[in-house]
Chains A and B, each alone.
Chain A
Amino acid sequence: MAVRHKSVETKYMEQRDAVLRGLRWLDRRSFLKAAAAAAGAVMARGLMPPHSFQLIEIANAATSKDFGTVGHQGSAPFRIAYISDSHLYERTLNQRFIRAIVRAVEDVNALDPQPDFVLYGGDLAQLGTRQQLDLGRQILAELKPPVKMMVGEHDWFLDLGDAWQEMFGPPNYSFDWKGVHFVVLMSVHEKDFWTARHMTPMERMRTVAGLDNPIQSRFEVGEEERKWLAADLAKVPHTTPLVVFSHSPLYKYYRDWNFWTEDAEQVQALLQPFSQVTVIHGHTHQMLFNRIGNINFYGMLSTAWPWPYAPQGLPPLTIQMNRADPFDQLDGCGDGQFMMRADGLVDTIYALWDRNPVSVPAGYLLSGGKSDRPPAPQFASY
């Protein structure tokens, strides 16, 4: 095709970069002036947001009214940042995903106050090679706060976790911090689909890396790890706030894309006795939240690309994020924060890049969607 579209995108990106450079030292009055000018230019071209670039005022990420108060347990609230699903290739092949994770690292390092620690949510590598994992390790080493690592299927299925464990240690572990019990799970085990098919390690890896590839098995925590989890939780009083990190959602959202954990119900049963439970997961690359029993679930954003919402099974409490603009490589991506409240629940901030951040207070899930409702999207999924 003779028509090349690239120039339009380039123009668009250049325009935005210029405005952003000019914004760096603006006070509020000048900001409003610049924003009005940009909006005027947009109107003059007959374009309407959100497809064209327009300045919006990005307030400091809103925190829930409960954050910052000291609850009856007396534990001090604290903040956790996260970065997830960066899907790095080797440095020579793909710079785009590197730029994205570096941006997330800069975001986290710029947080004031600094988070107590950073969760890395899994899928650091795209195809699990040592080079990819090592590249990720080097980038994450730039983070100022301590990092807690979680493994994803893209990190695992080339060598079944050898390189990852060598670099980052065991894939499932627990720790206590400021009165909260944290558990990190390896939730992306799969039943052996590769031996009978005589797959090479890379074929196995590529099969798992294909979200819509039906040959692979469904994710599971597995019996052995569930036993470990039961034993770990047996030592913890049920009144202790509990936060579980898993790469896959610990519930059944959409089987065909492995937005799914096969033994989710059994894992949930182990968590239900606790009075304050939060599950935080990666893998789904979208704003996603759910409540089952007394468990609050939050999905994390990816730095690499957003996934579309699945055609079925979206939790009714989830409020979709606006569609991602394909012409903006970082739109729909981002990082985020969890504000650990004094009452042991979590308020979540989706720090979507180039957009207003979206805050999801725990009260929204607790009330079954009746209060603290996050803003609705203008353009939900097709």
Chain B
Amino acid sequence: MHRYQVALLLAAGGLVSSAGMAIAPRVLNAQQPVAHHPVPATKNGNVVVMLCDGKTSLEIKGLKPGHTMTHDQATAVARQLMQKWQRAHPGELWQMAQEEGTQMRPTTTEQGNPSPNLPSAPNQPPSGEAPNPVPHPANPVQEQVQGVPVHRQAQPQQQGDTYASFNQRDFRVWQAETQKFVEYGKRVFHSDKLLGGTIGVSCDMCHPDAANTHPETYPKYQVQLQRVALLRDMIEWCIENPVKGATMSPNDPRLRALEAYILAQRKGVPLNYGKH
């Protein structure tokens, strides 16, 4: 199975920790070659940040290297960068325009590992193919007809609302975030240490690839508990009993990630609550 990973790049002169900046540097797979965009030298000793097009840069007045910005300041800087880019590209739409270095590359896991299924973006095919570009009036869709590229005007779509503003990059970021959560759940599932177990038992010992966890059958009456159980109740039960670990709080990130991993393994199986 092919997996996509997104590398969102922002070269920032010494600045990596501006909390809340949507353009924080992020490299998800260190093994992938990452395009290098040197940041222009500072004129006044301030931090210089660069947009992920690798060209548009900005010196932040009053911010010295090693210092961090507030969330509001960082948001303002991001906005200024985008405005600068827009001035340089009048009439153009920012839409993964800077493909260089940010191409989604299929990566195969070792030996076709049946790793957790990657959640699909709404308009992305679940197969290993590249996602469809989001059609937009300003962005004619390019199609291949018998090997010849053909331009056609896409159907006009509603604009101006929350959902209309989501683009492919957003989907990729969300997918990566979801996948990260599922992967963490996988680690917990396979580790008696992370589970807090005391007898060397982890979930995967009875449930390889989360087999036989049947999350799609909950809620259902669990006769041994003499009440209706949720998937989460059963995870808790297993942690306390076969694993011999301590009870987890419902908000424990491990418990939430376990649930995510188990559900991810049953993607596509119809929900069938109450099934025995």
Q: Interface of A with B (CB < 8 Å)?
A: 1, 4-6, 8-9, 12, 47-48, 51-52, 89, 93-96, 126, 210-215, 256-257, 305-308, 310-311, 323, 325-327, 329, 379, 381-382
B254 within 8 A of partner (CB): no
Q: Are B113 and A214 in contact (CB under 8 A)?
A: yes
B224-246: contact bitstring with A at CB < 8 Å (1 yes, 0 no)?
A: 11100000010011101110000
B residues less than 8 Å from A214 (CB atoms)? 109-115
Please list 11 pairs of residues, one from A and one from B, whose beta carbons are closer than 8 Å in the complex, sorted by A's number.
A1-B236, A5-B225, A5-B233, A5-B237, A9-B241, A48-B223, A89-B199, A94-B201, A96-B199, A382-B212, A382-B214
Known contacts A305-B206, A308-B207, A308-B208: A256-B114 contact under CB 8 Å: yes
State which residues 175-230 of B face A: CB under 8 Å.
190, 199-201, 204-209, 211-212, 214, 217, 223-226
Q: Are B248 and A1 in contact (CB under 8 A)?
A: yes
Could you say which of B201, B209, B223, B224 contacts A212, with CB atoms under 8 Å apart?
A: B209
Could you say which of A1, A256, A257, A329 contacts B247, with CB atoms under 8 Å apart?
A: A1
Q: Are A6 and B240 in contact (CB under 8 A)?
A: yes
A residues less than 8 Å from B211 (CB atoms)? 308, 310-311
- The listed residue with most A CB atoms (<10 A of its CB), out of B115, B224, B240, B242, is B224
B162 within 8 A of partner (CB): no
Please measure, in the bound complex, the distance between the C-alpha atom of A257 and the C-alpha atom of B240, giving whole angstroms.
Answer: 26
Q: Are B200 and A8 in contact (CB under 8 A)?
A: no
> Size range of the interface on B?
35 or more
Q: Are A89 and B200 in contact (CB under 8 A)?
A: yes
B276 within 8 A of partner (CB): yes
Q: Are B240 and A5 in contact (CB under 8 A)?
A: yes
Considering only CB atoms, which chain B residue lies closest to A381 in the complex? Answer: B212
B127 within 8 A of partner (CB): no
Could you say which of B109, B224, B233 contacts A51, with CB atoms under 8 Å apart?
A: B224
Known contacts A94-B201, A256-B114: A326-B208 contact under CB 8 Å: no
B250 within 8 A of partner (CB): yes
B249 within 8 A of partner (CB): yes
Please measure, in the bound complex, the distance between the C-alpha atom of A93 and the C-alpha atom of B193, giving whole angstroms.
Answer: 13
Q: Are B199 and A8 in contact (CB under 8 A)?
A: no
B residues less than 8 Å from A51 (CB atoms)? 223-224
Could you say which of A4, A95, A325 contacts B224, with CB atoms under 8 Å apart?
A: A325
Considering only CB atoms, which chain A residue lies closest to B115 in the complex? Answer: A214
A residues less than 8 Å from B115 (CB atoms)? 214
State which residues 84-128 of B face A: CB under 8 Å.
109-115
Please measure, in the bound complex, the distance between the C-alpha atom of A212 and the C-alpha atom of B207, giving whole angstroms.
Answer: 9
